[in-house]
Amino acid sequence: MMRYPWLRKLALLALIAAFWSPSGLLSADSGGKLNCAANQTAPECLSPIVYGVEMRAIEAEMAINPAPSFPRLPVDDNVLYRRPFRRVEKPTTIHDAPNGNVVGAYPEGFIFVVAGKSVDGWVQVGPNAWVQESALGPINKAVSRFSGVLLPEGLPTRPFAWMLLDTRPSRTPGAKPVAGTPEIKRYTMVNIFAVAVVDTWEWYLVGPDQWVLQTRVAKVKPIERPEGIEAGRKWFAVDLYEQTLTAYEGDKAVFATLIASGLPEWGTDEGVHKIFARYEETRMSGAEGKPQYWYLPLVPYVMYFNNSEQALHGAYWHDGFGYRRSRGCINLSITDAKWIYEWTQDQPDAYVYIYHSGTYRPGAPQ
């Protein structure tokens, strides 16, 4: 009989932890060196006993709260598809009637029109303005059905994120996915239960034996109200690194979503700004006479800030939220843009705080 019963319990815990460890969550196939100084709770950095206890606690939480359960903004097809937008996919002439006289032309560029009636292969795009239908893309081809979530209790203590790519998770941080592992689909919301750093890149535990690389998710990060924004005011925190927007009233977060901000050559201005002009719909265009020319009629739910041409607005021409892709504006899904537009009607000069929570860098694992 063992003289010290606690030793038996300790040995048993160690044995359980060693066998329980899913697929041997150690560095044999991790594909990189784990930084234990930054990952004191990662499996490689814990004793088997502590690791087993930690992971059992996390597994229990996963069973209770496997994914975020925040109420998502409802998507209204009458709002999304109220305008029949079509892209002009190649340079084409404009006629005053079907087979009529040429009265203008659409040049090369990123150009959309509001399509009217169709007659014998011709589409009306304005008063006395018709183009051949073969020059136009499908109606509302890229309108996004994505929408953000309300935060009735504010931001939770457990971090959460949206998946940006269809992703097969890995069983250990830094490892290749196992063939046949089911994908987690783009725009799926996930909780982040643990973080490990492999070769300077973060990996997130989002489910049992499910680790995903940081570049495959957009993580919502809390932030303090910056100096210059008065207590009780409505404001937006726009994280250009994660490509997220969080709406705050005072110090409480009330809404979070994905955005698409300016490309590197058209960067979105950082700092604390105020909204100074609002339009339920307005035209946007730029770079006239250049190959980069763009023309977007009836852009929905526009709020200009910083006394500039940059704005928060809905985008009907892409579904690329979570990535940089604009000419400087902050693109949102139409559903999200409508919500923030209406939410700020009582404070039309709401603040917009734009910042980077990290630094873009090349070399992420594939």
Q: Which residues are catalytic?
A: 313, 329
DSSP secondary structure code for residue 70 in this structure: P
CA dihedral angle for residue 241, residue 278, residue 141, residue 293, rounded to 10 degrees: -80
Amino acid letter for position 312 = L
Instruction: Reduce the DSSP state of residue 150 to 3 states and report it.
Output: strand
CA distance 131 to 115: 10
Question: How far from 327 is each of 12, 45, 188, 266, 311, CA to CA, in Å?
Answer: 60, 44, 27, 5, 10
Number of alpha carbons in the 13 Å side-chain half-sphere of residue 87: 15
Beta sheet of 194-198, edge-to-edge order: 194-198, 201-207, 210-213
Neighbours of 240 (CB within 10 A): 20
Question: How far from 29 is each of 23, 173, 307, CA to CA, in Å?
Answer: 10, 9, 53
CA distance 340 to 342: 5
Q: Is residue 321 within 8 Å of residue 332, measured between CB atoms? A: yes
